[in-house]
């Protein structure tokens, strides 16, 4: 007898799990015992679907590194019992959570598919039904008894993205996410077209879950006219270990002496500076222009085409692992989970 494929749906919160109360017209969380009322087609799936609901449910704006670890721990606990996982999550910070899970879940060999919606699943025009159904089908998909997508991904509006390559770029359209620097893992039409050459390959090693993240980082977004006092305040944050510099274009920054002097002082004190472009597409190329030569000279690390969301969670992960400063700098320039093109 062939074992039936089993998928665990983890509901963390977010718009997709909300229904409108017919009397008060307010939105309230969906209970999964009535999910089949809204998605009766799920009964036709040739797989077992179980549910795990977070208590309390969280808006994605309230997600924290502690939540990432909790979610990873749930997946670790249930890992051997299921063939794949679907995480229902608010879209606003979904790219951060998906990026974090990609680093925390080392040796992941099963699908962890994040999805959500722009409209609640109980509304007539909701995008949640399609996103949910597509995610379950992708999480259950196998070839030669091996999952087709053994990585953390985001499924939204008929597209499957690598989780640590995405950013939310639209708060209104159903196509809320973009992955400019890496192609789609799959496209959903009449058939689901998987781009297997772009999907991470399983290594069949035992899952390892990193349960310590270091939050002593911050982001310094550059803009014309930024004041010395603002930069100084950020770089002198108590306990600070790393700063993501959101620079212009291909990694460019002001050449003003006061600015470079403050960065040099920070590097000398042991703070890691990671250069990430503000642009959604393209890559940091340290030294391409004169305005980035100075950054390289003082020890700023180039982030290539990594997203800010991925840079934040990668730094939390690496610092949480307890690596030395030099080791963290080296690993920041290596692609650990397909998060950047080196």
Domains defined along the chain, listed by start = 5-209 (3.40.50.1170), 217-332 (3.40.50.40)
Count CB atoms within 10 A of the CB of residue 201.
11
Would residue 255 show up in a list of annotated catalytic residues for this protein?
Answer: no
Q: Print pLDDT tens along the chain (342 aa).
A: 357 899 999 999 887 877 766 677 676 666 666 666 677 777 777 889 999 989 888 888 889 999 999 999 999 999 999 999 999 998 889 999 999 999 999 999 999 999 988 777 767 777 778 889 999 999 999 999 999 999 999 999 899 999 999 998 877 766 678 899 999 999 999 899 999 999 999 999 999 999 999 999 999 999 999 999 999 999 999 999 999 999 998 888 988 999 999 999 999 999 999 999 998 888 887 767 666 688 888 999 999 999 999 999 999 999 999 999 999 999 999 999 999 998
DSSP states along 310-328: HHHHHHHHHHHTT--HHHH
The H or E element spanning position 36 is: helix 35-38
Q: Which residues pair with 10 in a beta bridge?
A: 52, 87
Nearest alpha carbon to residue 90 among 120, 66, 111, 70: 120
Catalytically annotated residue among 15, 97, 166, 247? 15
Q: How far is CA 201 from CA 98, 148, 186, in A?
A: 18, 9, 15
DSSP states along 64-105: -HHHHHHHHHHHHHHGGG-SEEEEE--STTHHHHHHHHHHHE
| Residues 210, 25: Cα–Cα separation, whole Å | 42
- Model-wide pTM > 0.85: yes
pLDDT of residue 18: 74
pLDDT of residue 30: 65
pLDDT of residue 142: 94
pLDDT of residue 32: 64
pLDDT of residue 91: 85
Nearest alpha carbon to residue 340 among 277, 248, 272, 249: 277
pLDDT of residue 34: 63
pLDDT of residue 173: 67
Strands 192-194 and 5-11: unpaired
């Amino acid at each position: 007898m062939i074992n039936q494929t089993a998928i665990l749906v983890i509901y963390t919160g977010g718009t997709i799990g909300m229904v409108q109360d017919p009397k008060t017209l307010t939105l309230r969380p969906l209970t999964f015992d009535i999910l089949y009322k809204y998605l009766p087609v799920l009964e036709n799936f040739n797989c077992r679907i179980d549910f795990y609901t977070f208590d309390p449910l969280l808006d994605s704006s309230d997600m924290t590194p502690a939540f990432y670890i909790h979610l990873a721990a749930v997946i670790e606990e249930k890992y051997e019992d299921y063939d794949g996982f679907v995480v229902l999550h608010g879209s606003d910070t979904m790219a951060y959570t998906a990026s974090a899970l990609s680093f925390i879940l080392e040796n992941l060999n099963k699908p962890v598919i994040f999805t959500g919606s722009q409209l609640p699943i109980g509304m007539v025009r909701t995008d949640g039904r399609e996103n949910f159904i597509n995610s379950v089908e992708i999480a259950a998909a196998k070839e030669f008894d091996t999952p087709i997508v053994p990585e953390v991904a985001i499924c939204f509006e008929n597209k499957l993205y690598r989780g640590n390559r995405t950013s939310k770029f639209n708060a209104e359209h159903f196509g809320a996410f973009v992955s400019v620097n890496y192609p789609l893992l799959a496209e959903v039409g009449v058939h689901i077209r998987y781009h297997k050459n772009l999907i991470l390959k399983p290594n069949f090693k035992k899952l390892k879950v990193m349960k310590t993240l270091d939050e002593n980082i911050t982001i310094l977004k550059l803009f014309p006219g930024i004041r010395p006092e603002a930069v100084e305040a950020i770089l002198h944050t108590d306990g600070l270990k790393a700063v993501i510099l959101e620079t212009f274009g291909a990694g460019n920054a002001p050449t003003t002496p006061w600015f470079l002097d403050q960065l040099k002082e920070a590097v000398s004190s042991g703070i890691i500076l990671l250069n990430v472009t503000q642009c959604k597409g393209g890559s940091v190329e340290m030294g391409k222009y004169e305005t980035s030569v100075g950054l390289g000279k003082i020890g700023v690390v180039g982030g290539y085409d990594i997203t800010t969301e991925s840079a934040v969670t990668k730094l939390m992960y690496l610092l949480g692992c307890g690596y030395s400063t030099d080791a963290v700098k080296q690993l920041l320039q290596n692609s650990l989970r397909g998060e950047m093109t080196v």
